[in-house]
Chain A
Amino acid sequence: EVQLVETGGGLIQPGGSLRLSCAASGFTVSSNYMSWVRQAPGKGLEWVSVIYSGGSTYYADSVKGRFTISRDNSKNTLYLQMNSLRAEDTAVYYCARVLRVAATGGWFDPWGQGTLVTVSS
């Protein structure tokens, strides 16, 4: 069964750092495009970052320079390192596999259950 499980969320003070993990089963992370999407409380979905199978990474302007997406092939796990956290980063963070036919585009499936990050003093 294809599954994603996020961990690492919690309460963190503004300016702090946190690393989220997303353990995959049923498929190989390094052979796929993988992404992070977040959802602030009561708000809509916001794309955060993507890592291509070749290793290229891209970020939303709102997190560029503060967040880093990476993966550990030996652990089949995706990560999101979040630095200089702000109150507006408070959200449920989902990881998702990006399926696609061409080299670009794609759709998100499946999604993990999400992990809540709360940035507050």
Chain B
Amino acid sequence: QSALTQPRSVSGSPGQSVTISCTGTSSDVGGYNYVSWYQQHPGKAPKLMIYDVSKRPSGVPDRFSGSKSGNTASLTISGLQAEDEADYYCCSYAGSYTGYVFGTGTKVTVL
């Protein structure tokens, strides 16, 4: 199972919006509405930011939003803040036998 494809890095100034894409196949992203997104700061464990494509857990700011079209999911961070600087990973369910597949990861830099 190949990793989902994410851009290596994205950047934006405080207050701007950035969007991270996550491209898979019809066997994972395109086949299920089970895409989740995780934020990871250096040396820390990942933190859930979005689940089931577009749902936000309690405690996650509403400037984080998710969507999906075909085989590509996206995470948008609106009103970028300094604390949003981190690595972000998408993840998709890919069936019982394949399990789950993560994206390659995107480093978000706040300029």
B-binding residues in A (CB < 8 A): 35, 37, 44-47, 49-50, 58-61, 94, 99-101, 104-114
Contact = CB atoms under 8 A, between A and B. Distances in A.
A47 B46 contact: no
Interface residues of B, number: 28
B1 A106 contact: no
Contacts of B45: 94, 111-114
B91 A107 contact: yes
A109 B105 contact: no
B53 to A, nearest CB: 10
B9 to A, nearest CB: 13
21 contacts: A35-B100, A37-B102, A44-B3, A45-B38, A45-B91, A46-B3, A46-B102, A47-B102, A50-B99, A50-B100, A58-B96, A60-B1, A60-B99, A104-B34, A104-B93, A104-B95, A105-B52, A105-B93, A106-B34, A106-B93, A111-B46
B43 to A, nearest CB: 9
B64 interface: no
Contacts of B14: none
Given A108-B36, A111-B45, 20 more contacts: A37-B46, A44-B3, A44-B89, A44-B103, A45-B40, A45-B91, A46-B102, A58-B96, A58-B99, A60-B99, A100-B34, A104-B32, A104-B34, A104-B95, A105-B52, A105-B93, A106-B93, A107-B51, A108-B38, A109-B48
Contacts of A94: 45-46
| Interface majority SS (helix, strand, loop, mixed), chain A | strand
Nearest to A59: B99
Contact of B97 (A58, A100, A111, A114): A58
A44 B40 CA distance: 10
A36 B40 CA distance: 16
A75 B89 CA distance: 32
A108 B100 CA distance: 10
A110 B91 CA distance: 15
A99 B93 CA distance: 12
Interface string B89-111: 10101011101111111000000
